[in-house]
Chain A
């Protein structure tokens, strides 16, 4: 799909919307992605980012996959201690405390 030139957030003469991602808005976005998905940025910057995302499918994909990463981390399963583990560890802690 072709991108509309008018959707580019800031006019930079001589630069096409298929910019390299080492520069410009994409790099700004890369720096601020976590702040954006954590909803910690001021509203004017969020607006700017949304405008950029609408014009840059690559950054859109990046932001979706970063959100998914955070979601997967949040849901990563962890094993639970058994009552026997709890009891054995308590005993070991108190033994070590008395020995010190």
Chain B
């Protein structure tokens, strides 16, 4: 080994950093990819987001003090990276969803239903039209609403945890989540997906 005393601790620390990163990456890459895919809606952007997230995590690993769960920390990094990346790609302003726009204006609109009665969610989602409608509805959501919906309803985090990740209080988070759900509900029920489509795609129980 070289005699340089000043280099040894640095080398050891670099090795430790890499070891720490590898553990972090191995244990969480699938989780963050799933989140990224749900936010981006397609694989290449999701992979870009995963790389950006873990690159930031690698650089911030030594400062992570364990005040939150590792997964919460990574979700936060990913969420911020997603906002930055989207801002770079498109400059369109975020539109706000107001509760008023979800007030049904007619009986018919009120009664719109999602035709999945009698099917398990997995069976219902075998209907390509329904799945596409769900994907498009989530994709159309302004990102702060989409993030709330993905973290709470898809990733299954608590409202408090999602609020921490998004940097908003629980009340604001719940309001965003509610509007996001109403938006997706309206998109799904307004599509007029028929049970016949379910039958054709093999979605019925035999």
CB contacts (< 8 Å) of B54 on chain A: these are 89-90, 93
A14 in contact (CB, < 8 A): no
Query: Are A76's CB and B134's CB within 8 A?
Result: yes
Complex Cα distance A21/B34, Å?
A: 38
Q: Are B114 and A74 in contact (CB under 8 A)?
A: no
B51: chain A residues within 8 A (beta carbon):
89, 92-93, 96
- Interface code B14-53, partner A: CB below 8 Å = 1, 0 otherwise? 0000100110010001100110011000010001001100
Q: In the complex the two chains form, is A66's CB within 8 Å of B181's CB? A: yes
Q: How far is the CA of A86 from the CA of B26 in the complex (A)?
A: 9
Question: How far is A70 from B30 in the complex, measured between Cα atoms in Å?
Answer: 23
A16 contacts partner chain B, Cβ-Cβ < 8 Å: no
A30 to B159, CA, bound (A): 19
Q: How many A-B residue pairs have CB under 8 A?
A: 124
Q: How far is the CB of B142 from chain A (nearest CB, A)?
A: 16
In the complex, what residues of A have CB within 8 A of residue B18's CB? 94
Interface bin, chain A: 35 or more
Q: How many residues of B contact A (CB 8 A)?
A: 53
Task: Evaluate contact between A86 and B55: CB separation under 8 angstroms.
Answer: no
The contact of A64 among B104, B107, B113, by CB within 8 Å, is B113
Provide 5 A-B residue pairs closer than 8 Å at the C-beta atoms, listed in order of the A residue. A72-B124, A72-B130, A73-B154, A86-B29, A89-B47
7 A-B pairs with the lowest CB-CB distances in the bound complex, closest first:
A75-B121, A34-B178, A58-B110, A69-B185, A73-B153, A68-B114, A93-B54
Chain A residues within CB distance 8 Å of chain B: 21-22, 27, 30-31, 33-35, 38, 40, 58-59, 61-62, 64-66, 68-81, 85-86, 89-90, 92-94, 96-97, 100
Interface residues of B (CB under 8 A from A): 18, 21-22, 25, 29-30, 33-34, 37-38, 43, 47, 50-51, 54-55, 58-59, 99, 102-105, 107, 110-114, 116, 121-122, 124-125, 130-131, 134-135, 138, 149, 153-154, 156, 159, 174, 177-178, 181-182, 184-185, 188-189
